[in-house]
């Protein structure tokens, strides 16, 4: 049959949720503290042994093992200690063989009770700390107990209390006393009044733990959550990746007809969640993270971890989101600073960059040309210095300098030819074009004046003789100085030269001809013209 002491020990251990061995050890320590204050054993180091079956208490004095005993009440020799415990060594504490007489008084009993309660509270706090330390970075359920003035909420966790500060609460949620909610355990600290548990509802890791609870593929590692960005109470983005071929990570997280993701949304009281596939390529990952907007182009700048995202102009507001929420969450998700541009603005940026690039190339070409010129000048100076040194050496030694002079003449001739070619090439093309245009205008201005016109009646009154006479007058006008050449008939035995013929005919041949032509011809022509008219 169990003793009353064992029944009480078992009941106390059950109430405190402590093992019986730990409760028994606390009682032994409490009795030892109480017996130390009694007169018979006052000042001694004692230990108490309690039999749980019968409840008998045995008190023994603890003595230190030394070589030479000076205080028999506190010390014991090595030989006597070996008789009690074989493995005893110098410096150990060994309980005496004979128990000490004890008779606990009322004060000793009261002291033992207080020590037992204190020891049990310490053991209970330590046990609670170890228990909640295992739930660190996990989700537990608590009941809202009270709300303080600064909106710090105290949660009842059963045998402990948790604290949720205001910055760890969701702004859109309203809590009521007695409401059961799930919270994420951020940290567990050991305090003087028990374990201090800090919990949160706005931490992004809470969303990860909810996915592990609701999605078996995430729990067993088939689908891996790569990144999470969360704006608690409003919207979240989750990047997932499949570690097994053939498994759709997005479909596994959403579930059939969205039942899995809907359970998470209900727990977060309507918070929107975007599940996007993760990609090792930053460009592809950024394009997916900016969803639901379409992305036309992504340009990365790894030096400052910045990315330019180009979207159609009609979807620019959709890509940025309300108050920049979508762009902000996407930037947190990918770990890059995102600069979202419209397509029209991107075209202007490209044109500006092209102009800047061309300007840089031009400047680089000018710098290269300047460097080449400086290098050529330096080489020329070196060559001149070398030539001067050679000339000076030749003058000292008296050698012939004719080859050097010939080379100088050849160089000078080459330089003159180069200058001439440069002068020819330097002619301004615009001046040449103006000269050509001016010549063409002058040539057009030198046109032949039109002849005098006659009427149809005058043309009808002309006769063939008039036409022939007009032709003869025109012929005389065209060739006024040509003499008439007589018909040469050969004389037998005489050679005549052209000079003789010209001398004979120069005096009267021309006038006689004109006289014959003017006799009567002009009058007749005038008469005919007058009559005809």
The per-residue pLDDT for range 290-346, each reduced to its tens digit, is: 988 899 999 999 888 999 999 999 999 999 998 899 999 999 999 999 999 999 999
pLDDT in tens, 75-134: 777 777 777 777 777 777 777 666 666 666 677 777 777 888 888 888 888 888 888 888
**135-200, what's its fold?**
OB fold (Dihydrolipoamide Acetyltransferase, E2P) (2.40.50)
Segment 166-174 shows an average pLDDT of: 89
Tally of CB atoms within 10 A around 360: 10
The bridge status of strand 75-77 relative to strand 57-66 is parallel
List phi, psi (to 5°) of 461: -85, -10
Q: Strand pairing partners for 338?
A: 307
What residues contact residue 12 under an 8 Å CB cut-off, 6+ apart? Answer: 23, 120
CATH of domain 4-128: 3.30.1480.10
- What pLDDT sits at residue 381? 85
In this structure, which long-range contacts are made by residues 463-470, counting pairs with CB atoms below 8 Å and at least 24 apart in sequence? 463/528, 465/525, 466/525, 466/528, 466/529, 469/521, 469/525
pLDDT band at 272 (very low <50, low <70, confident <90, very high): very high
Q: Strand pairing partners for 342?
A: 311
Tally of CB atoms within 10 A around 333: 26
Structurally, what CATH architecture does the domain formed by 279-377 represent? 2-Layer Sandwich (3.30)
- Taking the CA atoms of the chain, what radius of gyration do you get in angstroms? 62
- What pLDDT sits at residue 405? 52
What letter does residue 420 receive in the DSSP assignment? H
| Alpha carbons 175 and 142: distance in angstroms, whole number | 12
pLDDT band at 469 (very low <50, low <70, confident <90, very high): low
What residues contact residue 75 under an 8 Å CB cut-off, 6+ apart? Answer: 63, 64, 65, 66, 69
343-397 vs 402-425: helix axis angle to the nearest 10? 150
3-state secondary structure 112-141: HHHHHHHHHHHHHHHHHHHHHHCCCCCEEE
- What pLDDT sits at residue 416? 55
Supply the pTM of this predicted model: 0.57
- Length of the chain as a residue count: 533
3-state secondary structure 314-372: HHHHHHHCHHHHHHHHHHHHHCCEEEEEEHHHHHHHHHHHHHHHHHHHHHHHHHHHHHH
- What pLDDT sits at residue 195? 84
Residue 91 structure tokens: 């410096």
Q: Strand pairing partners for 242?
A: 223
Q: Domain segments of the chain: what residues?
A: 4-128, 135-200, 279-377
Residue 200: pLDDT above 60?
yes
Cα angle 105-108-113, degrees, rounded to a multiple of 5: 125
Segment 229-235 shows an average pLDDT of: 92
Tally of CB atoms within 10 A around 431: 9
Residue 516: pLDDT above 80?
no
| Alpha carbons 426 and 496: distance in angstroms, whole number | 65
């Amino acid at each position: 049959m169990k003793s009353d002491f064992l029944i009480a020990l078992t009941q106390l251990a059950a109430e405190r949720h402590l093992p019986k061995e730990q409760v028994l050890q606390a009682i032994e320590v409490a009795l030892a503290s109480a017996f130390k204050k009694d007169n018979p054993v006052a000042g001694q180091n004692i230990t108490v042994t309690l039999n749980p079956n019968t409840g008998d208490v045995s008190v023994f004095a603890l003595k230190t093992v030394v070589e030479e005993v000076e205080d028999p009440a506190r010390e014991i020799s090595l030989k006597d200690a070996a008789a009690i415990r074989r493995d005893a060594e110098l410096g150990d504490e060994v309980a005496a063989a004979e128990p000490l007489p004890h008779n606990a008084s009322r004060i000793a009993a009261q002291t033992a009770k207080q020590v037992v309660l204190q020891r049990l509270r310490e053991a209970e706090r330590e046990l609670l700390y170890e228990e909640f330390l295992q739930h660190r970075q996990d989700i537990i359920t608590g009941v809202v107990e009270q709300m303080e003035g600064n909106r710090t909420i105290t949660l009842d966790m059963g045998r402990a209390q948790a604290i949720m500060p205001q910055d760890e609460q969701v702004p859109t949620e309203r809590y009521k006393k007695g409401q059961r909610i799930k919270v994420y355990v951020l940290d567990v600290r050991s305090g003087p009044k028990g374990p201090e548990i800090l919990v949160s509802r706005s931490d992004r890791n809470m969303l990860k733990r909810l996915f592990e609870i609701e999605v078996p593929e995430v729990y067993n590692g088939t689908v891996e959550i790569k990144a999470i960005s969360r704006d608690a109470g409003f919207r979240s983005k989750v990047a997932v990746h499949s570690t097994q071929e053939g498994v759709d990570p997005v479909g596994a997280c959403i579930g059939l007809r969205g039942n899995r993701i809907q359970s998470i949304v209900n727990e977060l009281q309507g918070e929107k969640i975007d599940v996007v596939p993760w990609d090792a390529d930053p460009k592809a990952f950024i394009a997916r993270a900016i969803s639901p907007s379409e992305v036309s182009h992504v340009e990365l700048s790894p030096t400052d971890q910045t990315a330019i995202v180009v979207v159609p102009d009609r979807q620019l507001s959709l890509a940025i989101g309300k108050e920049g929420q979508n762009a902000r969450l996407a930037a947190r998700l990918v770990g890059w600073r995102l600069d979202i541009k419209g397509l029209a603005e991107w075209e202007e940026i490209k044109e500006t960059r092209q102009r800047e690039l061309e300007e840089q190339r031009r400047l680089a070409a000018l710098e290269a040309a300047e460097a080449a010129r400086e290098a050529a000048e330096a080489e020329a100076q070196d060559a001149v210095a070398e030539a001067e040194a050679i000339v000076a050496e030749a003058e000292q030694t008296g050698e012939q300098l004719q080859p050097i002079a010939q080379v100088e003449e050849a160089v000078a001739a080459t330089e003159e030819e180069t200058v001439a070619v440069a002068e020819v090439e330097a002619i301004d093309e615009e001046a040449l074009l103006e000269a050509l245009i001016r010549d063409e205008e002058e040539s057009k201005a030198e046109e032949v004046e039109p002849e005098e016109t006659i009427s149809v009646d005058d043309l009808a009154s002309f006769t063939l003789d008039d036409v022939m006479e007009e032709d003869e007058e025109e012929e005389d006008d065209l060739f006024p100085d040509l003499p008439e050449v007589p018909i040469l008939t050969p004389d037998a035995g005489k050679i005549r030269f052209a000079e003789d013929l010209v001398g004979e005919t120069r005096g009267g041949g021309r006038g006689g001809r004109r006289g014959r032509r003017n006799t009567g011809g002009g009058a007749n022509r005038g008469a005919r013209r007058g009559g005809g008219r």
